[in-house]
Structure 1
Amino acid sequence: MSKNKISPDEKICAVELFLDGKGSQRSIAAQLGISYQSFQQWIRNYKSMGKGIFIKKDNKKYSSDLKISSVRDHLAGIGSQDDICMKYGIRSKSKLQKWINQYNSNEEFKTSGTGETIIMTKGRKTIYEERIEIVQYCIEDKNNYAETAEKYQVSWIGYNKRKINKC
């Protein structure tokens, strides 16, 4: 795709054309010489953060609480990655995917001097049946991830719905 700079005004105009029903995502992206996925990201960001998202050029900082909440929502199946990015004002799905990988790799989301408990800790390996038990306990405990993780000495609580439905 093209590496030509597209001005903030052009981005806003393109998104508004789509939202007004005056073109499809694919056709507008093709006209601009950008990928369909990039245009989808523009739309998502515009809907969740407004026109200013195209004008600001500073790096956005995300709190550890926001990172953990967004990852937990994803693992709990609360919404698609697009939905979660919109809900939390995350600029790109790749950022959320990076946090998910960090979380699943037992890497810590450090807190910034707030005295909060660090949720991520080094976990241990579990067998399939134990993971089912852990998830069931978590659900019964109103999805209290921190308490469940501490009780079972694991680093995260998540599940693959397809595997659990096979039981």
Structure 2
Amino acid sequence: MGKKSQYSIEIKMKACKDYEKGKGSFQSIAEEIGVNWTTLREWYFKYREHGVNAFDTTKRNNSYTKEFKLEVIEEYITNKGSYIDLAAKHNIDKRVVRSWVNKWYNDIEIKDYMPKGDVYTMKSRKTTFEERLEIVKWVIENDMSYKDAAYRYAITYALVYKWTRAYIDKGDDALRYQKRGPKPKSEVDESDLTEVELLKLELEREKSLRKRREFELEVLKKKEELERKLRSQK
């Protein structure tokens, strides 16, 4: 089941109708209900296409065939609509449309999507540091797609999410399982260290931080290159 929205159907409908009746701009109405104006714009575009059905929260985890995904991708690359236009037309999240287009431009195979619940309940399994790092990098390079990574690597959704957030916050070392015994260096009382030991610790931290920054820069460059490709297609 999908995450429950904090905004009810009634709130979304009223906001859309208020905009339709000229009672305010996206910005002013959005500020009244405490939502980003771009989110309100998405609501309105979907409401304009589907009416109240656009906000039906009973339908979750829809199946998307490969053919359907390719049709949506073709609509985008042939300038038949923006991400938000196509999301409204097909009543799906614009981030989903963007992820399909990104995969197509990066020559990642487009597959049928038949959701299952087992990624949330499957049993955990042992993994190596190298495998955890590979999974996290795949998630980051594929638009933070935790669920797809869970299926791809047969690991629970919760672990994929936990590892990814830990890596983003603390770097490679966060993915290493700590053995019982002496505290890791990150937890050592620095006041007990000699000047040389403290210098070594700082160098290790800088090295880990630099590696993480280099990887993040790689991801950023890849995304910028993709955005340039998308702009050149328009």
1:16-165 pair list within 5 angstroms: 16-59=17-60, 60-87=62-89, 89-111=90-112, 160-161=232-233
2 CA distance for matches of 1:62 and 1:11?
26
Change (3 A) 1:27 1:91: same
Give the counterpart letter for 2:84 in structure 1: D
Give the counterpart letter for 2:45 in structure 1: R
Question: Which secondary structure state, in structure 1, belongs to the residue aligned with residue 53 of structure 2?
Answer: helix
Change (3 A) 1:58 1:110: same
Given that 1:75 and 1:159 are in contact with CA atoms closer than 8 Å, whether structure 2 keeps it comes out as no
Between 1 and 2, higher relative CO (CA 8 Å, sep ≥ 6) is seen in 1
Q: Which has the higher helix share?
A: 2
Change (3 A) 1:159 1:39: closer
Mark the runs of 5 or more structure 1 residues left unpaired by the alignment: 113-157, 163-167
**Superposition TM-score, scaled by structure 1 size:** 0.59
2 CA distance for matches of 1:33 and 1:111?
36
**Superposition TM-score, scaled by structure 2 size:** 0.43
Change (3 A) 1:68 1:161: closer
Question: Which secondary structure state, in structure 1, belongs to the residue aligned with residue 69 of structure 2?
Answer: helix
Equivalent pairs, count? 113
Give the counterpart letter for 1:81 in structure 2: Y
Give the counterpart letter for 1:18 in structure 2: Y
Give the deviation of 1:55 after TM superposition: 3.0
Give the percent of matched residue pairs that are identical in Structure 1 and Structure 2. Answer: 23
Mark the runs of 5 or more structure 2 residues left unpaired by the alignment: 114-229
Give the deviation of 1:45 after TM superposition: 1.5
Deviation per residue, 1:116-154 (Å, 9 max, x gap) = xxxxxxxxxxxxxxxxxxxxxxxxxxxxxxxxxxxxxxx
Give the counterpart letter for 1:77 in structure 2: N
Question: Which secondary structure state, in structure 1, belongs to the residue aligned with residue 58 of structure 2?
Answer: coil
2 CA distance for matches of 1:9 and 1:74?
31
1 CA distance for matches of 2:31 and 2:6?
15
Give the counterpart letter for 1:6 in structure 2: Y
Change (3 A) 1:53 1:79: closer
RMSD: 2.4
